[in-house]
Structure 1
Amino acid sequence: MPLDGNGGYSVRRYTLDFDWRAPRTPFGATTTVSATATQALSRFDLDFAGNTLHTVTVDGTPAKAVRDGDELVVTPAKPIARGGTFTVRVAYTADPTQRRHRDDAIQDYGWVPTADGTLLSLQPDGARMVFPADDHPSVRAPFTFRVTTPPGLTAVANGRLVGHVRQPDGRIRWTYDSEHPLAAQLVQLAIGRFSVVNGTGPRGLPVRDVVPDGLVAGTEKYRSLTPEHLAWLEQRLGPYPFRRYGVLVGDTDLPVALETQSLSVVPSADLLGDQVGAERNLVHELAHQWTGDSVAIRRWSDLWLSEGHARFYELLHSDTHGGIDLEDMMRAAYEQHDQWRHDDGAPAEPTEPTLFRQMRYDGSALVLYALREKVGEDTFDRIERSWVTTYRGRAAGTADFVRLASHVAGEDLTPFLTPWLYGAHTPPMPGHPDWHVEPVEN
């Protein structure tokens, strides 16, 4: 997605004001972007798609705004000096039916209507269908969410509920603060007839599940495992990186779960089936909070670091909790690895259409497994903990990982990892000379 993100400024905060009405019904919206110019600006861009644009102001003065595909090109009345702070206010009518489609694991994304409300599934570039943004996976900023709903409905978002106030017309205004900066693709905003189920995790961490009223009892068995999952991951990756966590149960045609920051969305079907499958999904999205959310990727070609780590820990946990043996899973992935390289690109060389294909999941977990076989479990565990600690709250890429892994291991791992990450053919698996790759079929 070469056109994602924008240069020339750094976002300091987003404020989203939504006057939500009903499922699939357009509503009035305003997004305010507070930013600092990193260069002199006579104009700047925001990623913004669809919706009906009304007005744009910069520091309270009307600005010229032109739409160019998914870009909103803004020309302020006066140029902005380098280092200057400015505030952009975009008023529009939001269209909560906007969705796009990908031919990979993501499938449909954007606004996700539910029976009585909506939720968001914005990965990889769906935020622009909801609000104007600097929509790039490495770019993060704090968010304030202000959402007005009809009485009887609950609005939830990333972070902490600051307050909810009944308006003179009986509608409810909900305000949330994200507490931590987050990437636009990780924003969650859901509205519906929800029960908010509060609990605690390790060291008193607030755990907030958001569940459609009719699914509280049916999903409780697996949702209640979150404190155990948190403790298991903290043993391997260190302290959970945010101030709270929870699961948003999506009672809709959501194709996949998603690691929206501090409030992962998980399809209800995943929590009403077998325990092995449910735990795999829950651990996968929780692992993303360390790797993918706290440690953001620098660019989309680094997605293997996010999805590969989440899949690795999902499978590692499942190995000792009733699932398939990790080694068996990795051997099966090894056999298919050349085919995936042919179809989807090497782990760190995806194309835009193949971004969320099998190589970024099982195929990238296999790279981490190979690294563990190469350096040993103890050194691998130190690499992993150092990775999420060193880059906590920052963006990092493939070169950063190779450099850090080499430093922790005390040897240059570039010659080992480069063919795994970029090669046309799968290298031998350390310690498993009997493993073989299946021939590629065109």
Structure 2
Amino acid sequence: MFPLDGNGGYRISRYSLDFDWQAPRTAFPASATITARTTQALSRFNLDFAGNTLRSVTVDGAEARTTRDGDELVITPARPLDKGSRFTVVVHWTADPTQIRHRTDAIEDYGWIPTPDGTVVYPQPNGARMLFPADDHPSRRAPVTFRITTPPGIQAVAGGRLTERAERPDGRVRWTYDSGQPVAAQLVQLAIGRFTFVESEGPRGLPIRDVVPDALVAPTERYRALTPTHLAWLEERLGAYPFDRYGILVGDTGLGVALETQTLSLAPKADLLGNQVDAERNLVHELAHQWLGNSNGIREWSDLWLSEGHARFYERLYSEEHGGTSLEASMRTAYEQHDQWRRDFGAPAEPTEPNLFKRMRYDGSALVFYALRQEVGDRMFRKIEKEWAKRYQGKVTGSREYFALASEVTGRDMDAFLRPWAYGPKTPPMPGHPDWVVRPAIR
């Protein structure tokens, strides 16, 4: 899946990105300084890049030759790079904040998403290459520094901590943000516009910073104020929040898709202006991803079921406890359709590229965790989940590690139980519900 995504021969240790923002839907100068280390001798290497006009590329200060092949930027340095050597790539280009691509699944549009006075970004699944040159694979993570210069009266925000706000003599402002911890390219966030920064605290004084278009501060306050409650609820089940800050970016766009960008979840304004049950489901979903999908990263896209299935499971569980549909009812509905979803979209751990973000990766994958809880009981299930979040914090992982950990914690061969749920064309019987029936798949 996405066979050209990611690149071999090196590992990036940091991205430093400079964006000289001009105005909405207007091209602007941009540069990326990328530090990396080779894992083999290299005479050339690739970056994933679908940005606009390329202006120059240097490697260790010397001009490099470049060619572009689709989304691949092929770089030939002036001198070959030895195995184990550190090197620095500097790319200058003209960025186009109207670059958007479209998918026919839950993602819809991704890339640069214009707002009335600026932009937000949807880099998932592989749209970061429209924003900056990257090693754009979910398993490849590195710290990111954003330096964004904006006109007077316009704010900029990115995931992580604001380390500097410097006003220039002409009134333009440079905003510097540092992610602190490594982040996958598909989980970065950058937003520019007229914002209000709303600060509060979560459990144990965790800094919370919401970023809200000025006109939406009051209308969205009621649901945004629930973040400390959501954090405390998830910490009971998954352990301590894995990052040093959190916040909600309210997107003033027509898209109805939220996104778990690291430490700063993007929530469309519609999510925060509707009924409370739906709003909380969506907010808990994106927050759960900070543990499961962001801190515990996925190794391959076939492991997405661990990320989206977990987030959907916890949103459904929270909703059951707070006035929504019962988890059992939601899972029974998913169970009835599971063979059809397996046929149409692939089993939870067997997606195809066009069906990556279809229903099987959401309720269809949450059903796997529901089945596990039914099999081992709630107490043992909680032990598995807390250990999963703790052991793989800050690491990339996948299905085999989850199966092995469940076996270790329970003292049973849970691979034999979980594998048929995650793979294959047929849905197993649901423990504790002999009356549940899977509808036959229709071709």
TM-score range, shorter chain: over 0.9
Residues 199-231 of structure 1 deviation map (CA, whole Å, 9 limit, x = unaligned): 000000000000000010000000000000000
Asked whether the equivalents of residues 48 and 128 of structure 1 are also in contact (C-alpha less than 8 Å), the reply is yes
Per-residue deviation, residues 380-419 of structure 1 (Å, max 9, x unmatched): 1010001110000000001111011111110111111111
1:398 partner amino acid? S
**Alpha-carbon separation, structure 1, partners of 2:316 and 2:351:** 23
Query: Which residue of structure 2 aligns with residue 183 of structure 1?
Result: 184
* Equivalent in the alignment of 1:171: 172
Q: Counterpart of 1:414?
A: 415
Q: CA deviation at 1:75?
A: 0.5
Q: Which residue of structure 2 lines up, in the alignment, with residue 270 of structure 1? A: 271
Q: Deviation digits for residues 89-138 of structure 1, max 9, x if unmatched?
A: 00000010001011100011000000000010110000000100000001
Q: Deviations over 1:8-34 (max 9, x none)?
A: 101010000000011110000001110
Contact 1:42-1:78 at 8 Å conserved across structures: yes
Q: What residue number does 2:244 align with?
A: 243
Match of 2:78 in 1: 77
Q: Which residue of 2 aligns with 1:350?
A: 351
| Aligned residue in 2 for 1:341 | 342
Measured in 2, the distance between the counterparts of 1:3 and 1:401 equals 27
Instruction: Tell me what 1:109 maps to.
Output: 110
> Which SS does the other structure have where 1:228 is aligned?
helix
- 1:16 corresponds in structure 2 to 17
SS of residue paired to 2:17? strand
Look up the match of 2:293: 292
Matched, 1:315 2:323: no
Note the C-alpha offset of 1:166. Answer: 1.1
Q: CA deviation at 1:423?
A: 1.6
CA drift of 1:246 comes to 0.4
Q: CA deviation at 1:179?
A: 1.2
- Give the total of aligned pairs: 442
Deviations 1:326-364 (A, max 9, x none): 101100100000110010000000000000000000000
Summarize deviations over 1:118-169 as a string: whole Å, max 9, x none: 0101100000001000000011100110000000011000100011111122
Is the Cα–Cα contact under 8 Å of residues 51 and 132 in structure 2 kept in the other structure? Answer: no
Instruction: Report the Cα offset of residue 2 of structure 1.
Output: 1.4
Partner Cα distance (1:202, 1:239) in 2: 9
1:260 aligns to what?
Answer: 261
Specify the alignment match of 1:197 in structure 2: 198
Q: Does 1:302 align with 2:303?
A: yes
Letter in 1 for 2:150: T
Q: Tell me what 1:228 maps to.
A: 229
Aligned to 1:148: 149
Q: Check the 8 A contact 1:106/1:255 in 2, yes or no.
A: no
Distance 2:296 2:416 in 1: 25
Find the aligned partners of 1:25 and 1:67 in 2 and give their Cα distance. 23
**Residue 40 in 1 paired to residue 8 in 2?**
no
Deviations 1:298-349 (A, max 9, x none): 0000000000000000000000101001101100100000110010000000
Query: 1:219 is paired with a residue of what secondary structure?
Result: helix
Identity %, equivalent residues: 69
| SS of residue matched to 2:267 | strand
Three-state SS of the structure 2 residue aligned to 1:41 is coil
- 1:215-253 alpha-carbon deviations (Å, 9 max, x no partner): 100000000000000000000000000000000000112
| 8 Å Cα contact 1:108/1:255 also seen in 2 | no
Measured on the aligned residues, the alpha-carbon RMSD in Å equals 0.6
Q: Quick check: 1:63 aligned with 2:64?
A: yes
Q: 3-state DSSP class of the match of 2:263?
A: coil
Q: Provide TM-score, normalisation by structure 2.
A: 0.99
User: Paired residue for 2:158?
Assistant: 157
Q: d(CA) in 1 for partners of 2:32 and 2:169?
A: 23
SS in 1 for 2:364: helix
Q: Structure 1 counterpart of 2:292, which letter?
A: T
Q: Take 1:162 and 1:372, find their aligned partners in 2: how far apart are those partners?
A: 43
Partner residue of 1:385? 386
Question: Which residue in the other structure is 1:4 paired with?
Answer: 5
Contact 2:51 2:93 in 1 (8 A): no
After TM superposition, give the deviation of residue 377 of structure 1 in Å: 0.8
Partner residue, 2:135:
134
The amino acid across from 2:366 in the alignment is A
Matched, 1:88 2:59: no
Indicate conservation of the 8 Å contact 2:256/2:270, yes or no. Answer: no
- What letter matches 1:325 in structure 2? S
User: What is the CA–CA distance in structure 2 between the aligned matches of 1:273 and 1:423, rounded to whole Å?
Assistant: 38
Q: CA separation in 2, counterparts of 1:399 and 1:2?
A: 21
- Divergent runs of 4+, >2 A: none
Alignment partners' CA distance in 1, 2:403 and 2:385: 12
Q: One-letter code of the match for 1:306?
A: S
Secondary structure of the residue aligned to 2:5 is coil
What is the DSSP-based 3-state SS (H/G/I as helix, E as strand, rest coil) of the residue aligned with 1:152? coil
When the two structures are superposed, what TM-score results if normalisation uses the length of structure 1?
0.99
Task: Please give the alpha-carbon distance, in whole angstroms, between the structure 2 residues aligned to 1:113 and 1:203.
Answer: 36
Amino acid at match of 2:166: V
For residue 405 of structure 1, give the secondary structure of its aligned residue in structure 2.
helix
State the alpha-carbon separation in 1 of the partners of residues 328 and 9 from structure 2. Answer: 47
- Secondary structure, in 3 states, of the residue corresponding to 2:107? coil
Identify which range, 248-257 or 426-435, moves more after superposition.
248-257
Partner of 1:206: 207
Please tell me whether the aligned partners of residues 13 and 33 of structure 1 are also in contact (alpha carbons under 8 angstroms).
yes
DSSP-derived class of the 1:365 partner: helix
One-letter identity of the residue aligned with 1:322: G
Structure 2 residues without counterparts, runs of 5 or longer:
none
The one-letter code of the counterpart of 1:164 is R
CA distance in 2, matches of 1:261, 1:424: 34
| Residue 128 of structure 2 is aligned to residue 119 of structure 1 | no
**For the residues of structure 2 that align with 1:139 and 1:95, how far apart are their CA atoms?**
25
**Structure 1 residue 255: Cα displacement:** 2.9
Tell me, yes or no, if the aligned pair for 2:256 and 2:271 is still in contact at 8 Å: no
Which amino acid in 2 is paired with 1:433?
Answer: P
| Amino acid in the other structure paired with 1:185 | Q
Are 1:138 and 1:296, in contact at CA under 8 Å, matched by a contact in 2?
yes
- Matches of 1:125 and 1:137 in 2, distance apart? 9
Distance in 1 separating the partners of 2:194 and 2:255: 17
